[in-house]
Structure 1
């Protein structure tokens, strides 16, 4: 039981040392991630359409 409480004390201590991003930075990072996800999803959607068209043309 002592190991578990020691672990959580160490976790709490380390969490106080974390440098959390400011609201402006967090907003910028969130927009960057979301726009990247949308871009990659659209990219693979277009690639999938192209592969489907090629397969339909072959068959």
Structure 2
């Protein structure tokens, strides 16, 4: 078990972590993309719901 954690620590030291500026930029990009996609799917869902209501009436 200790060998495993020693290996994990060794490998984590090799990781290239993003700088604060990069991390902030990537976070903004991800949040913006998720918000846009959520809005898109909400509009599509409303459109399909209305279309189904019109067909069923």
Q: TM-score normalised to the size of structure 2? A: 0.95
Q: 2:46 aligns with which of 38, 46, 49?
A: 49
Q: Tell me by how many angstroms 1:41 deviates.
A: 0.3
4+ runs of 1 displaced by more than 6 Å? none
Q: Alpha-carbon deviations, 1:6-58, whole Å to 9, x = none? A: 11000000001111100100000000000000011001000000000000000
CA distance in 1, matches of 2:2, 2:37: 43
Aligned match of 1:22 = 19
CA distance in 1, matches of 2:30, 2:13: 26
Q: How many residues are aligned here?
A: 56
Aligned match of 2:5 = 8
